[in-house]
Chain A
Amino acid sequence: MSRDTALVSADWAEKNLGASGVVFVEVDEDTNAYDGGHLPGAIKLDWKTDLQDPVRRDFVNKEQFEALLSARGIGNDDTVVLYGGNNNWFAAYAYWYFKLYGHGDVKLLDGGRKKWELDARPLVKDLPNREQTTYSAQEPDTAIRAFRDEVVKAIGTQNLVDVRSPDEYAGRLLAPAHLPQEQAQRGGHIPTAVSVPWSKAANEDGTFKTDDELRDIYAAAGLEDGKDTIAYCRIGERSSHTWFVLKELLGHSNVKNYDGSWTEYGSLVGVPVALGDEPGKA
Chain B
Amino acid sequence: MTTVPVDASCAAPDQSAPLPASVDLEKETVITGIVTAADGSAVGGAYVRLLDATGEFAAEVVTSPAGQFRFFAAPGTWTLRALSRHGNGDTTVTAVRGVTETGVQVG
Contact = CB atoms under 8 A, between A and B. Distances in A.
Contacts of A33: 62
Interface residues of B, number: 39
Interface string B1-28: 0111011111111100000100110011
B61 interface: yes
Interface string A166-190: 1100001101111111100000000
Given A165-B57, A177-B50, 12 more contacts: A29-B11, A86-B10, A114-B47, A172-B74, A177-B58, A178-B70, A178-B72, A179-B10, A180-B20, A197-B56, A204-B49, A237-B10
A175 B74 CA distance: 11
B45 A47 contact: no
Count chain A CB atoms within 10 A of each CB in B50, B83, B85 and give the residue with the most.
B83
B58 A179 contact: no
Contact of A48 (B9, B23, B27): B9
A29 B3 contact: no
Contact of A166 (B54, B73, B85): B54
Nearest 7 CB-CB pairings of A with B = A29-B11, A199-B57, A177-B59, A180-B4, A178-B59, A177-B58, A177-B73
Interface of A: 28-30, 32-33, 47-48, 85-87, 89-90, 114, 117-118, 120, 165-167, 172-173, 175-182, 197, 199, 204-205, 233-235, 237-238, 263
Q: Is the interface of B mostly helix, strand, loop or mixed?
A: loop
B99 to A, nearest CB: 13
B84 interface: yes
B50 to A, nearest CB: 5
A89 B23 contact: no
A181 B27 contact: yes
Nearest to B7: A48
16 contacts: A30-B12, A32-B14, A48-B9, A85-B12, A117-B85, A165-B57, A166-B52, A173-B73, A177-B73, A178-B70, A179-B6, A179-B10, A180-B28, A181-B28, A235-B10, A237-B9
Contacts of B10: 29, 86, 89, 175-176, 178-179, 233-235, 237-238
Count chain A CB atoms within 10 A of each CB in B8, B11, B60, B81 and give the residue with the most.
B11
Contacts of A90: 11
Contacts of B47: 114, 118
